[in-house]
Structure 1
Amino acid sequence: MIIRIVHMHFNEADAEEFLTIFEKNKHAIRNFEGCTHLELLRDANNPAGFTTLSHWNREQDLEQYRQSELFRAVWGKVKPLFSERTQAFSLEKFIEL
C-alpha cells in the first residue's frame, strides 16, 4: 500500500475555492482505480492549510491517477490558488501497532 500525503497552503479567500473544488471531485478521486481511502485534513493552527491523505493499492495506481485527465483538471484549478509551495510525500506502511 502507498500512502500519499499532500500538504497545501492557501490564502484565506482561496481556501473556500479549494474546498469547493475538492467537494466537487472527492468522489471521483476516491473511486479512481486503486484508491482505497481519501481524507482531507485542516491545519489546527491555520484554517487555510490543508492536507490530503490518500491510500493506493500500488505505486502504479497512484502514478496512473497522476497521469489522468481527472488529476490534470483538478490540479489545474487548485495549483494557482496555492500561497506556498506544496509538500508531497509517498510512504509505505512500515510498522503498525
Structure 2
Amino acid sequence: MIKVVARNVAKENKLTEVIQLYKELVGLTRKEEGCIKYELYQDENDPTIITMIEEWESKKALDEHLKSEHFTRIVPKIKKFMTKQTDMNVYNKLI
C-alpha cells in the first residue's frame, strides 16, 4: 500500500477556483482502479493550505493515476493558482 501527502498553498484570491478544480479531480480519481482513498483537506488556521491525502493499492496504480487524462489536464490548471511548488511525499506502509 502507498500513501501520498501532497501539500499546496493557493493564492488567496483563487481559492474558489482551486477548490472547484480539485472537486473535479477528486471525483474522477476516486473511480480509478487501485485508488483506495483520495481526500482533500484545508488547513484550519490557513485556508490557503490545501493538502491531498491519497491511498493507493500499489506504486503502479499511483503511476497510472499520474499519467491519467484528468490528472494531466486538471493539475496544470491548479498549479497556476498556487504560490509554491507542491510538496509531495510518497510513503510505503511498514506496519
Question: What TM-score comes out, normalization by structure 2 length?
Answer: 0.93
Partner of 1:64: 64
Cα deviation, residue 24, structure 1: 2.3
Q: CA deviation at 1:78?
A: 0.6
Q: Secondary structure at the match of 1:40?
A: strand
Q: Return the letter of the residue paired with 1:91.
A: Y
Deviation at 1:25, TM superposition (A): 2.8
Q: Does 1:18 align with 2:21?
A: no
Structure 1: any 5+ residue segments left out of the alignment? none
The superposition leaves residues 33-62 of structure 1 with CA deviations (integer Å, 9 ceiling, x where unpaired) of 111111111112211111000100000110
Q: How many angstroms apart in 2 are the aligned matches of 1:11 and 1:29? A: 24
Listed as ranges, the gaps of 5+ residues in structure 2 are none
Q: CA RMSD in A?
A: 1.1
Secondary structure of residue in 2 paired with 1:26: helix
* Structure 2 match to 1:85: 85
CA distance in 2, matches of 1:31, 1:54: 13
2:47 paired residue number: 47
Deviation at 1:88, TM superposition (A): 0.2
Q: Which amino acid aligns with 2:12?
A: E
Residue type matched to 2:37 in 1? H
1:38 correspondence with 2:38: yes
Shift of 1:75: 0.8
Q: Taking structure 1 as the reference length, what is the TM-score of the superposition?
A: 0.91
| Matching residue's letter, 1:47 | P
Structure 1 runs (4+) greater than 2 angstroms displaced: none
Equivalent pairs counted in the alignment come to: 95
